[in-house]
Structure 1
Amino acid sequence: MDTKSLLVTGYRHTDLGIFSEKDPRLHIIKSAIRRNFIRFLEEGVSWFILTGQLGFEYWSLEVLEDLRAEGYQLSIATIFPFENHGEQWNEANQAKLARFKQVDFVKYAYPRYENPGQFRDYNQFLLDNTTGCYLFYDSENETNLKYLYHMVLKKEEYNRKTLTFEELNEEAENFSNSE
């Protein structure tokens, strides 16, 4: 993968029905994220770009922090869509939001939401300023992420790796076979 900056995004925790940090699926998801991130780092990725979403992005942030603690050299950016992103979240999620704000680079695309076109422009900005993406998404299980997903598919000379449910099932089988 000839990528230096990787956009990382995917399903939110609510899309997957994961509401507890103790959910057994998290171990499998994080294991797949870790395996892929190590490969990306070995291939030369140096920046991981997040958008501050709970779920896949937050789990990715946790894995990136662990990898950094293990000695991997990497940089993390969070580019939020709006300055007031997450302000309505509960206390536990506010703590997660704070972690997104403690990375190497933090910016906001807009002061606040004004119109739906901001999301299209924001997605385009993310794609224009990264050289690839790591996306946890399956077109069989559509969410609002479909808009970004279709933009990624249309972008030429843009590296992409999609984490699929099939890959997670394989990860789960490997995990259960190793026990």
Structure 2
Amino acid sequence: MTAILITGYKSFELGIFKDKDPKIPIIKKAIKRDLLRFLDEGADWFIFLGNLGFEYWALEVALELQKTYDVQLATIFLFENHGQNWNESNQEKLAKFKQTDFVKYVYDSYQNPSQLKQYNQFLLNNTDGAYLFYDEDKETNLKYLYQMIKAKDTYPLKCLTFEELNDIVQDLD
């Protein structure tokens, strides 16, 4: 795998509403472990969608790793106006996504629901594997992408699970 799609739960879906939430360092520790594994396996691109929460924390980790490893970062937004109504703090986070090595907007604006499926297909066609923070028992809109990935037999998927995060917490104790 060389291009890894990275996405997962948004912060509000995890009940995280502050940047100083004690859960974030635990999640970032898991992200770092997994991104290092991808780099060791030959990954040279990490692809983001521009969402707050798991993706943003993964972006922060990837930016740190980029100082040491030869890895490129990309953000492929669904729409050109992604995040335009976010508050100032979130606009600063959005700006980090827009400063990656490659930025693309798939659509100018929303036209119809089929765009979402086409976007997901575009992402799968242009990446070699995915890293998701997702659990089938805690469904969100991410289930549509997850189901498309699961339907592709030859598309590698690594899911970060709540159980893995609990293991990290146990190791800290």
Answer yes or no: same fold by TM over 0.5. Answer: yes
Give 1:63's aligned residue.
61
Matched position secondary structure for 1:158? coil
2:66 is paired with a residue of what secondary structure?
helix
Partner residue of 1:111 out of 108, 111, 118:
108
Question: Secondary structure in 2 aligned to 1:106?
Answer: strand
In structure 1, the partner of 2:82 is 85
2:17 to 16, 19, 23: 19
Report sequence identity in percent: 58
The one-letter amino acid paired with 2:61 is V
Residue 9 of structure 1, CA deviation: 0.3
Instruction: Give the 5 Å matches for 1:1-179.
Output: 3-69=1-67, 71-176=68-173
Alpha-carbon distance in 2 for matches of 1:100, 1:59: 11
Which letter maps to 2:59?
A: L
Structure 1 position 72, deviation (Å):
1.2
RMSD: 0.6
| Distance (Å, rounded) in 2 between the aligned partners of 1:171 and 1:150 | 27
Cα distance between partner residues in 2 of 1:7 and 1:175: 29
Residues 23-48 of structure 1 show CA distances to partners (whole Å, capped at 9, x for unaligned) of 00001000000000011101100000
**Deviation at residue 115 of structure 1 after TM alignment:** 1.1
Counterpart code for 2:15: G
1:9 alignment partner, SS class:
strand
Does structure 2 retain, via aligned residues, the 8 Å contact 1:48–1:76?
A: yes
Q: Which runs of 5+ in 2 are unaligned?
A: none
Alignment-mate amino acid for residue 128 of structure 2? T
The amino acid that maps onto 1:7 is: L
* Structure 1 gap ranges (5+): none
Q: CA deviation at 1:156?
A: 2.2
Report the Cα offset of residue 21 of structure 1. 1.1
How many residue pairs were aligned?
173
Query: Residue type matched to 1:117 in 2?
Result: S
Q: Which runs of 4+ in 1 moved over 2 A?
A: none
Q: Deviations over 1:12-69 (max 9, x none)?
A: 0010010111100001000000000011101100000000000000000000011112
1:147-168 CA-to-partner distances (Å, cap 9, x unmatched) read 0000010012111100010111
